[in-house]
A and B are shown apart, each in its own frame.
Chain A
Amino acid sequence: DPQRTAFLLRKQWTLYSVTPLYRFSDAHLRDYARLLSAFIAAEKQKGLAVEVGVELGTKVTVSCLPDLKGSDQDQAAILVQLSLRSPAAPKNSEEKLIWSGWFCCVAGDDLSQNVPEDFTCLPLFLVNGAESYTAIVGSWFQKTFDCYFRRLAISPLNLSWMAAMWTGCKVDKTASAMELVFSVPRLPQPLDISYAIHPEDAKALWDTVQKTPGEITQEEVDVFMDCLYSHFHRHFKIHLSATKLVKVSTAVASAHCDGIIKFLQSQYLTGVLMLLTELAISQIQ
Chain B
Amino acid sequence: SEKMQRRQSSKTPKQPLQVNHKNQTDLSAWRKGGRTDPGNSVQNHQSPNDQKNDSEQVSLEQALSYFEKVQDRVSLKKSNVLQKHLAAVESTALQRGLPPEGFDVLLNVALSGKLADTVNTRLLKSLIPASVIPESCVVSSVSWLCVSKCSDNIQLLFLRWLITMFDFVDHKEQIHALYGFFFSFLQDEKMCPYVCHLLYLLTRKENVKPFRVRRLLDLQAKMGMQSHLQALLSLYKLFCPELVTITLPGKMKSYFKNSEGPWKAVINTVRQRNQANSPVSQLLILGTSQPQSRKRKWNTQLTIPASSTNRTNLEEDRKKNRVDLYSTKESAFRVEQLQTFSQLLQNIHHLEFPSQMGSVLTNPLLLHYMNCIKDESIYLRLYYWMGQTFQEECTWCVADNNQYEEEFKDFLEMVYKTECFLQEGFSSCEEFLYKSLPLWDGFCCRSQILRLVSWIPLSGFSEMKSYLYDPLSQLFFTSSLYFKCSVLESLKELLQNWLNWHVIHLDSESDSQGHALSTTLSGIVNVVAELIHFVGRISTVALRLEDDSTFLLYFILDFYETVCDMYLRYNLPLLIMPPAGVFYPALLSMDSVNLNQLCYIMYRYRTNLVAAKESELSKKKILQFKFSSETYQEYNRYIIAMVGCLWTSSAFQKDIHPQGLHMDEELLKKTAVQEFKTSFNIVYHPAMMGYAVLFLQQAWPDDTTFNFSLIKGKKWNWYLEYLYAQGLQGLKVFIESSINRVSQAS
Q: Is the CB of A146 within 8 A of B356?
A: yes
> Cβ of B323: which chain A residues have Cβ within 8 Å of it?
31, 34-35, 52
What is the CA–CA distance of A131 and B235 in the complex, to the nearest angstrom?
31
Q: Which of B252, B298, B357, B392 contacts A146 (CB 8 A)?
A: B357
Residues A28 and B314 in contact, CB atoms below 8 Å apart: yes
Chain A 14-53 interface residues, beta-carbon cutoff 8 Å to B: 19-20, 22-23, 25, 28, 31, 34-35, 38-39, 42, 45, 48-49, 51-53
CB pair A134–B298 under 8 Å, yes or no, is: yes
Chain B residues 13-50 with CB under 8 Å of chain A are none
- Chain B interface residue count, CB cutoff 8 Å, equals 35
Whether the Cβ atoms of A35 and B310 lie closer than 8 Å is yes
Is the beta-carbon distance between B322 and A52 smaller than 8 angstroms? yes
Look across to chain B and name the residue whose beta carbon is closest to the beta carbon of A19.
Answer: B384
Q: Which A56-78 residues have a C-beta within 8 angstroms of B?
A: 56-57
A115 interface residue, CB < 8 Å from B? yes
- B670 on interface, CB distance cutoff 8 Å: no
* Bound Cα distance from A48 to B196, whole angstroms: 13
Chain B residues, Cβ within 8 Å of A188: none
Give which listed residue, B322, B381, B387, contacts A53 with CB less than 8 A. Answer: B322
- A118–B311 Cα distance when bound, in Å, is 14
**Could you say which residues of chain A place their CB within 8 Å of the CB of B318?**
31
B371-402, CB under 8 A of A: which get 1 and which 0?
00000110011001101110110000000000
Chain B neighbourhood of A56, CB < 8 A: 250
Q: In the complex the two chains form, what is the Cα distance from A56 to B356 in whole Å?
A: 27
Within 8 A of B (CB), among A112-171: 115-116, 118-119, 131, 134-135, 138-139, 142-150
A38 lies within 8 A of B325 (CB): yes
Name the B residues within 8 Å of A48 (CB-CB).
Answer: 231, 255
Docked-complex contact B314 and A144, CB < 8 angstroms: no
Select one of A20, A38, A55, A142 contacting B299, CB under 8 A: A142
Q: How far is the CA of A38 from the CA of B322 in the complex (A)?
A: 13
Of all chain A residues, the one with the shortest Cβ separation from B386 is A148
Interface centre among B238, B252, B307 (most CB of A within 10 A): B238
- The complex places the Cα of A118 from the Cα of B318 at a distance, in Å, of 20
Contact of A150 among B299, B309, B381 (CB under 8 A): B299
Cβ contacts under 8 Å, A147 to chain B: 384
Among A34, A118, A148, chain B packs the most CB atoms within 10 A around the CB of A148
* Alpha-carbon gap, A22 to B379, bound state (A): 12
| Interface membership of B648, Cβ < 8 A | no
CA distance A55 to B247 in the complex (A): 13
| Residue in A42, A45, A49, A283 whose beta carbon sits within 8 Å of that of B238 in the complex | A49
Asked whether A148 lies within 8 Å of B389 as measured between CB atoms, the reply is: yes
Beta-carbon contact of B380 and A148 below 8 Å: no
Asked whether, in the complex, the Cβ of A146 is within 8 Å of the Cβ of B385, the reply is yes
Asked whether, in the complex, the Cβ of B380 is within 8 Å of the Cβ of A284, the reply is no
Residues in A neighbouring B238, C-beta threshold 8 A: 49, 51
Closest to B307 in A: A143
Interface membership of B251, Cβ < 8 A = yes
Q: Is B91 an interface residue (CB 8 A)?
A: no
B188 touches A (CB below 8 Å): no
Picked from B325, B376, B384, B389, the residue with its CB within 8 Å of the CB of A35 is: B325
Chain A residues within 8 Å of B377, by CB: 22, 116, 118-119
CB distance B388 to A148 under 8 Å? yes
A138 to B384, Cβ gap below 8 A? no
Q: Residues 202-218 of chain A: 1 if any B CB is under 8 Å from the residue's CB, otherwise 0?
A: 00000000000000000
A102 to B574, CA, bound (A): 55
Distance of A57 from chain B, by nearest CB (Å): 6
Q: What separation, in Å, do the CA atoms of A155 and B265 have in the docked complex?
A: 46
> Do A57 and B251 touch (CB < 8 A)?
yes
Residues of A within 8 A of B251 (CB): 45, 57, 87
Docked CA distance A283–B388 (Å): 8
- A138-B311 contact given A19-B388, A45-B252, A115-B380, CB 8 Å threshold: no
Question: Contacts A52-B322, A146-B356 given: A284-B298 contact, CB under 8 Å?
Answer: no
A146 smallest CB distance to B (angstroms): 5
Chain A: CB-nearest residue to B237: A51
Q: How far is the CB of A42 from chain B (nearest CB, A)?
A: 8
Contact of B259 with A by CB under 8 A: no
For chain B residues 319-368, which have a beta carbon within 8 Å of chain A? 322-325, 355-357
In the complex, what residues of B have CB within 8 A of residue A135's CB?
Answer: 298-299
Instruction: Name the residue of chain A whose CB is nearest to the CB of B299.
Output: A149
A116 to B384, CA, bound (A): 13
Residues of A within 8 A of B255 (CB): 48
Given A23-B311, A49-B238, A146-B357, verify A57-B385 contact (CB < 8 Å): no
**Which of A34, A45, A144 is B355 in contact with, Cβ under 8 Å?**
A144
**In whole Å, how far is B294's beta carbon from the nearest beta carbon of chain A?**
15
Instruction: Give the shortest distance, in Å, between A110 (CB) and chain B (any CB).
Output: 15
* Contacts known (A116-B380, A146-B381); A139 close to B298, Cβ less than 8 A: yes
Q: Is A52 in contact with B299, judged by CB distance below 8 angstroms?
A: no
Please state if B376 and A116 are interface contacts (CB–CB under 8 Å): yes
Which B residues are in CB contact (< 8 Å) with A115? 380
A51 to B325, CA, bound (A): 9
Question: B45-79: which residues lie under 8 A (CB-CB) from chain A?
Answer: none
Residues of A within 8 A of B376 (CB): 116
**What's the least CB distance linking A22 to chain B, in Å?**
6
Question: Which partner residue on chain B sits nearest A149 by CB separation?
Answer: B299
A52 touches B298 (CB 8 A): no
Contact of B381 with A144 in the complex, beta carbons under 8 Å: no
In the assembly, what is the distance between CA of A35 and CA of B323, in Å? Answer: 8
Please indicate which of the listed interface residues A19, A87, A116 has the most CB atoms of chain B within 10 Å of its own CB. A19
Closest Cβ neighbor of A132 among chain B residues: B298
User: CA separation between A138 and B297, bound complex, in Å?
Assistant: 11
Q: How far is the CA of A16 from the CA of B582 in the complex (A)?
A: 52
* Given A57-B250, A116-B377, A143-B310, CB of A148 within 8 Å of CB of B355: no
The distance from the CB of B459 to the nearest CB of chain A, in whole angstroms, is 17
CB-CB nearest in chain A for B355: A143
Name the residue among A52, A146, A150 with the largest chain B CB count within 10 angstroms.
A146
Docked CA distance A147–B255 (Å): 34
Contacts of A51 in B (CB 8 A): 238
Closest A-chain residue to B251, C-beta based? A57
Give the chain B neighbours of A283 by CB distance below 8 A: 391
Q: B298–A138 contact, CB under 8 A? A: yes
Which single residue of chain B is at the shortest CB-CB distance from A283? B391
Give Cα A119–Cα B387 distance, bound, in whole angstroms.
Answer: 17
- In the complex with contacts A34-B323, A53-B322, A116-B376, A144-B384 CB distance below 8 A: no
**A142 and B311 alpha carbons, distance in the complex (Å):** 13
Residue of B nearest to A24 (CB): B311
Q: How far is the CA of A138 from the CA of B301 in the complex (A)?
A: 13
Contacts of A49 in B (CB 8 A): 234-235, 238
Contact status A142-B356, CB under 8 Å: yes
Given A48-B231, A138-B299, A146-B357, A284-B388 contact (CB < 8 Å) = yes
Contact A52-B384, Cβ < 8 Å, known A28-B314, A57-B250, A119-B377: no
Q: Can you spell out 26 A-B residue pairs with CB atoms less than 8 angstroms apart?
A: A22-B381, A25-B314, A28-B311, A35-B311, A48-B231, A49-B234, A49-B235, A52-B324, A52-B325, A56-B250, A57-B251, A115-B380, A119-B377, A131-B298, A135-B299, A138-B298, A138-B299, A139-B298, A142-B356, A143-B356, A145-B311, A146-B357, A146-B385, A148-B299, A149-B299, A150-B299
Known A20-B380, A144-B309; further 18 A-B contacts with Cβ < 8 A: A19-B388, A23-B311, A31-B317, A35-B324, A45-B251, A57-B251, A115-B380, A116-B376, A116-B377, A131-B298, A144-B311, A146-B384, A148-B388, A149-B299, A150-B299, A150-B391, A283-B391, A284-B388
List the interface of chain B (C-beta within 8 A of A).
231, 234-235, 238, 250-252, 255, 298-299, 307, 309-311, 314, 317-318, 322-325, 355-357, 376-377, 380-381, 384-385, 387-389, 391-392
What 3 A-B pairs have minimum CB-CB distances, sorted nearest first? A135-B298, A19-B384, A52-B324
